[in-house]
Homo-oligomer: A and B are copies of this chain.
Amino acid sequence: MTDRQQKFASGKKVLDAIDGDAGTKVIDALADVSPELAHQVVAWAFGEMYARPALAPRERQLVTLGILTALGGCEPQLDVHVNASLNVGLTPEEITEAMLHAAVYCGFPRALNATFAAKKVFAERGLLPVG
């Protein structure tokens, strides 16, 4: 295995553990249009950055939910990361609370769009109603 392949393999383990199928689908969909983007998401974003121990996975997800809610237009990424948040142990109540909290800092439209993206994931996983 080359150094590059090793990095991909080690990032893929992190991606699988956190994002599960939702992450793999994104990587597969990139194969025919931008294989290097797929490589960088896996090898760098997950293998090198996400894997760092300075924050727990649960804490990284709270930061990520804050960022994706604030950016707006990231519904596909919220789909992946709401799943990831559940996978690392955040409860549906904690996820929607993070989005409610976001209303204070980036306004209700962003909070609403993120909450409806979460609702879709919760419904797929049989987690509705919340609370």
Inter-subunit contact B67/A102 (CB<8 Å) = yes
CB distance from A117 to the nearest CB of B (A): 10
Pair A94/B54 contact, Cβ less than 8 Å = yes
A53 and chain B: residue at smallest CB distance: B97
Flag whether A131 is at the interface (Cβ < 8 A): yes
Which residue in B3, B49, B99, B113 is a CB contact (below 8 Å) of A34?
A: B99
Chain B residue at smallest Cβ distance from A30: B115
Distance, CA A81 to CA B36, complexed state (A)? 22
* B71 and A112 within 8 A (CB): no
Majority SS of interface residues in chain A? Answer: helix
Q: Which residues of B are found within 8 Å of A118, using beta-carbon distances?
A: 33
CB distance from A14 to the nearest CB of B (A): 12
**Complex Cα distance A104/B43, Å?**
12
Give every chain B residue within 8 A of A109 (Cβ-Cβ): 68, 71, 74, 76-77, 105
Given contacts A30-B115, A66-B67, could you give 8 more A-B pairs where the C-beta distance is less than 8 Å?
A33-B119, A37-B100, A37-B111, A71-B107, A72-B73, A77-B112, A106-B106, A107-B107
* A residues at B contact (CB < 8 Å): 3, 26, 29-37, 40-41, 44-45, 48-50, 52, 54-55, 59-60, 62-74, 76-77, 92-94, 96-113, 115-116, 118-119, 122, 128-131
